[in-house]
Structure 1
């Protein structure tokens, strides 16, 4: 019973540590104010791994809508149909398994206020906890020369897999907002 309680606590702690690791990189020599329009670079969304359990038209639609909305909020407009934008946008959805070792100590001695210790021998138990991390990466490439000018990514620990549609939509919106929060770079 105690082992289950400790294991549950460790899993709850992992689930609570849902901090998104957000990273951005950009070409400082570029004039980001000159970029006014954007278009998708096909394929607009690439999956890593190319797993049919992850790959979905619905997921692609959610990511496209989230990216489009965030770019619009930053003053970038979609290029005219058939025209190339000042920026080409490509996204990646990367899902990977990660492992973390959790060590729990059982037993040991306890002491009273006036001395004297009581209790049993202490022992440690180490186990590996496996969890999934999803990363959304957004690449912005110059529409003229095709060079990468800005890249942002954020990863999120998945509490349970697969999440329901509302959770997916919320997680995608939140993650894309965090990725593009510092675009354009200052």
Structure 2
């Protein structure tokens, strides 16, 4: 039983590593990010690709907007006063891609040492399967409030699970993902 637990631990670590979001960021190195003090939404604030009602919901949009506002506040950026544009304009994209991966498994075949009498065994078989899966990307764009040019972009990509989370799990996942993305802002 103890050996079983020891073998299970590395497997769980591998599975957990596969579920982590892949973070990316890009920015304009010629911008003075310390000069940005306020922000406002670039409408539409949250865009969805594809525009599918299973993805595009007011509830998801509210969760994303709340998480982004909270993270920007933690980084010293304040919402612009009503009726004025912020130093930064914020726009978020939720992108769902359908992807495929081919996986080949070989079984059967020979074994042995060719120097000590050759190989033994039967024929080898290869089975190839195609796996369909979905990848979600949450992308946060920060645009200069004066010239409208993109100055910073951060994104997180993660394979979607088949299991549908409940509302509390969705909110926690969005907050965690937005925190990881904006954890890279301002650029160092």
TM-score relative to the length of structure 1: 0.84
| Aligned: 1:144 with 2:142 | no
Mapped partners of 1:94, 1:161: distance in 2: 19
Residue 182 of structure 1 and its aligned partner are, at CA, apart by 1.4
Mapped partners of 2:184, 2:120: distance in 1: 57
- Which residue of structure 1 aligns with residue 102 of structure 2? 101
| Aligned: 1:133 with 2:135 | yes
More displaced stretch, 50-59 vs 17-26 = 17-26
SS in 1 for 2:183: helix
| Aligned: 1:184 with 2:181 | no
- Which residue of structure 2 aligns with residue 164 of structure 1? 166
SS in 1 for 2:146: coil
Supply the RMSD in Å over aligned alpha carbons. Answer: 2.1
Mapped partners of 1:177, 1:167: distance in 2: 15
Mapped partners of 1:130, 1:180: distance in 2: 30
| Aligned: 1:20 with 2:11 | no
- Which residue of structure 1 aligns with residue 35 of structure 2? 34
Q: Deviations over 1:60-118 (max 9, x none)?
A: 01111111111111110111122211111000000011111111112223449x87855
List runs of 5+ in structure 1 lacking aligned partners. Answer: 1-12
Mapped partners of 2:132, 2:179: distance in 1: 27
| 1:16–1:22 Cα change, 3 Å | closer
Mapped partners of 1:180, 1:115: distance in 2: 62
Residue 145 of structure 1 and its aligned partner are, at CA, apart by 1.4
Count of residues in correspondence between the two structures: 173
Question: Equivalent residues in 2 for 1:34-53 (5 A)?
Answer: 34-53=35-54
List runs of 5+ in structure 2 lacking aligned partners. Answer: 1-13
TM-score relative to the length of structure 2: 0.83
- Which residue of structure 2 aligns with residue 74 of structure 1? 75
More displaced stretch, 43-52 vs 162-171 = 162-171
CA contact (8 A) 1:15 1:159 kept: no
Residue 161 of structure 1 and its aligned partner are, at CA, apart by 5.3
